[in-house]
A = this chain, B = another copy of it.
Amino acid sequence: MSDGAAGLPPLPEMPAFEAGSVWLVGAGPGDPGLLSLLALHALRAADIVVFDALVSEEVLALARPEAAREYAGKRGGKPSPRQPDITKQLIAHAQSGRRVLRLKGGDPCLFGRGGEEALALAAAEVPFRLVPGITAALGGLAYAGIPMTDRTINSSVTFITGHKVGGEVPDAIDWAALAAGAPVLIVYMALHNLPLIAAKLTAAGLAPETPVALISKATTPAQRVLESTLGACADEADAAGIEAPCIVVIGEVVRLRQALDWTAPREARAAAAARALAARGQRAAS
């Protein structure tokens, strides 16, 4: 996309990024095309960008050249900066009068600790702003051709995290309630604990045949999608060498991928789409 705008309407006015403030911004799942205009504005205005492990190179490349860059990533099970040290740094940078962009993969406040960092900023009376981002589930499902909801399948969707920072499965999850109440379940950071998660959901009543899709490195050129079932997905992910970061989609919406994978040849999709429409009593308008 050209940045020149001859004959095109001007871009909207953006709020001022004040010196001495911190913007907690979601960078989206990877594709720089999924960055918001506010995030781009922040990248172009920031004095320092403090970024986490899931922010892509292509996104960081959009920061103005003079901006300092500081890595503050956390990855489960690996040595990484302690959370109190990250927030102390954010506060110190802001108090030195800089425009501090805290850039996180996906959305900052959905399994991203944005709220926790904002609490520390608020307590220190550092002004801040929360800028949402496209979370991995929204990005990954769209790029895999799986609708998150479909009127004939689900009127709710549940996002859960597959592990805590230490690596364990979170202990407060009511698997029986999830199995009963979540027709579509999207598990973040699911890969490490996938055998356990699949076993818990099966024990709680979900059929082993329930369709599952694994989406690795969502929306990046390295994205891989594996279609499987709840009973087989852990073994198949292992055999296929699926890598983190990976989200897992569990539910009947996964079957629609046959018709909606828009990266596949259109002839391949048409028959599956006609079948899906016929099954819901609609005629394909062709």
Q: Which A residues lie at the B interface, using CB under 8 A?
A: 1-5, 7-15, 26, 28, 31-38, 40-41, 44, 58, 61-65, 84, 87-88, 91, 107-116, 118-120, 122-135, 138-139, 141-143, 145, 147-151, 154-161, 164, 170, 172-174, 176-178, 180-183, 253, 256, 259-260, 262, 266-267, 269-270, 272-274, 276-277, 282, 284-286
B64 & A141 in contact (Cβ 8 Å cutoff): no
In the complex, which of the residues B44, B138, B267 contacts A132, with contact meaning CB atoms closer than 8 Å?
A: B138
A122 & B270 in contact (Cβ 8 Å cutoff): yes
B119 & A65 in contact (Cβ 8 Å cutoff): no
Q: How far is the CA of A120 from the CA of B150 in the complex (A)?
A: 13
A182 & B161 in contact (Cβ 8 Å cutoff): no
A37 to chain B minimum Cβ distance, whole angstroms, is 5
A167 to chain B minimum Cβ distance, whole angstroms, is 14
**B-side contacts of A274, CB under 8 Å:** 123
Copies of this subunit: 2
Q: How far is the CA of A18 from the CA of B95 in the complex (A)?
A: 49
**A14, A122, A147 pick with most chain B CB within 10 angstroms:** A122
**Given A61-B9, A109-B148, A266-B122, A36 and B33 touching (CB < 8 A)?**
yes
A3 & B7 in contact (Cβ 8 Å cutoff): no
User: Nearest residue in B to A35 (C-beta to C-beta)?
Assistant: B37
A65 & B284 in contact (Cβ 8 Å cutoff): no
